[in-house]
Structure 1
Amino acid sequence: MLSENEIQQLEDYQYYRLSSDERKAIEQRMKKDPAYKKEAKAYLHLFKSFQVEKLAEDMRKWDEESASPTKVKFFRFSYLAIAASVVLLFSVGGYFFQQNNAEPKIFATYYEAYKPLNMQARGGSEAVNARLIWEAEQLYKAGKYAEAIPLLEDCSKTNCRLMLGISFLEIQKEDRAKAIFQELSQEESISLEKEQIASWYLALTLVKTEEWAAAQKELEQLLRTAEEGYYISQAKALLQEIKAR
């Protein structure tokens, strides 16, 4: 049985309150520990399906009101009804979780945030914004994506734009991420390697939004343009997994 801290961690995972490293730790534990995975999936589905915080607050209010002797019978029934609902949820939760969790499972298997090389200004006009670029990079590397976004939006460097796309992806703004990766993957003025990186993350974004046909098309295009390079081996594996769905 999971502890209160473990359940709280899963709630934070569901609502994206954890850092990228903390999320990965939970995902790795689910891969290695079948018993934990089974319980974790049930709780994640519970958090996804209901407004748990509101339910908890309602139940606390019921506790206070049920102190009245005239209301004991009614609130006893309410608790039984809630218990029955939760039991029913867990009994069918496995099925719905399996149906709805194809995207998180595949996405989590292949996703890793882009790791840029340290960007250093070379002087001249680049030095003017050097401090802001450095701050944006540090926030990004610390997993503080929402804070990094305003600074990254003012930077036109390719690395900044890749980090900006990842930051939007991390805070669940997939449409913004998709637009950035699409633009970069078609931009001829950047290196082929950066085009491949953008194409890879565009495919992952499409997986996350369950646009399977578009994700397959993007991966096939990526593999046609380069037989080796950044993320190519992962792209081949992901393409096979999508085709096997």
Structure 2
Amino acid sequence: MDEVKVVVAHSERATLRVGDVFLKVDADRARVDAEVEAMALAPVPTPEVLWRKPPVLAIAALPGAALGRLGEPSTASPEAWAAAGAAIRKLHEAPLPPWSGRRRRDPGELAAELDGECESLVANGVLSADLVARNREVAEAAIRPWTPVFTHGDLQIDHVFVDGDEVTGIIDWSEAGRGDALFDLATFTLGHEEHLGDVLAGYGTDVDVDVIRAWWSLRSLLGVRWLVEHGFDAFAPGCEVDVLRARM
């Protein structure tokens, strides 16, 4: 029997790998429904759904390897990063999915959530007041009206697989829906600012880089406490806290 590897596990969901099969266990059936439908609608390569028996979704492994990891240097070529940018653009130009993204919030709601999170980070001694204040200032540029597009919603670098300079697939679509294109681009380049130019060259249209930088700060501020509470190390080199420090 193949070894069972725990890929990720926390209170919301767990993913196991057995050979070339990934088993995603998620008690939120609506989230699994959205993931399966998003993969069917997305005009980019996605994993094959092998079977589904709630709360488990079985998908096939993709060829190639993840483009990189947060906190680690990426060995992928500039051409691979550009190919990923082109795939993201193709997704963003696709017809809108029929559901709103889980991360879609109006600017006022997002600002209130951010203010509450910043207050908590300082009050509980998680981050310094100066670090939080500076990044809250930077994050302001992301809190604006935007035109919704088909977004992945959780486009971390290790969710994009490449073989050489070709994108072989994008995984983990549970947060997909109508969202902000620049949130996807910011999530993808978080901690890998040196590759932003390659990604945007492949994306092929002008974007507001200041808003992408703002999303780096905003996403990191909103994510630090959740990551710590769920057993992840936001303070590891190159990860969320370093992203915040870079804005200083």
Per the TM superposition, whether the score is higher than 0.5 is no
Q: Is the radius of gyration larger for structure 1 or structure 2?
A: 1
TM-score (norm 1): 0.28
Give the number of the structure with larger relative contact order, counting CA–CA contacts within 8 Å between residues 6 or more apart.
2
Compare the two structures and name the one with the higher strand fraction: 2
Compare the two structures and name the one with the higher helix fraction: 1
TM-score (norm 2): 0.28
